[in-house]
């Protein structure tokens, strides 16, 4: 049986702040979540937006590659 993931709210970053950090739109961040590239995503209480663990964002940024020929 898998151990459940436990994150505190302080470890989380909002979609708005992720978009600002990686210089893209909030919709693009939601698309990355839908594609499974930024998972897991959580809601806290009645909050409208999603939150991602900071460690997931850092891993995503480390694995991103820009094609210089594009």
Is pTM, for the whole model, over 0.85? no
CB atoms near residue 41 (< 10 Å): 19
Domain that holds residue 14: 10-63
One digit per residue, the tens of pLDDT, for the chain of length 70 reads: 777 677 777 789 999 999 999 999 999 999 999 999 999 998 877 878 899 999 999 999 998 877 677 6
In a domain, 68, yes or no: no
Cα distances (angstroms) measured from residue 16 to each of 25, 40, 44, 53, 68: 8, 16, 15, 13, 27
Q: Is residue 69 domain-resident?
A: no
Domain count of the chain? 1
CATH number for the domain harbouring residue 23: 1.10.10
Specify if 15 maps to a domain. yes
Residues composing the chain: 70
Confidence at residue 70, expressed as pLDDT on a 0 to 100 scale: 61
């Amino acid at each position: 049986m898998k151990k459940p993931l436990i994150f505190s709210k302080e470890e989380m970053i909002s979609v708005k702040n992720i978009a600002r950090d990686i210089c893209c739109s909030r919709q693009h961040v939601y698309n990355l979540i839908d594609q499974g590239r930024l998972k897991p995503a959580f809601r806290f209480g009645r909050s409208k937006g999603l939150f991602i663990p900071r460690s997931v964002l850092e891993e995503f940024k480390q694995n991103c590659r820009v094609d210089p020929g594009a």
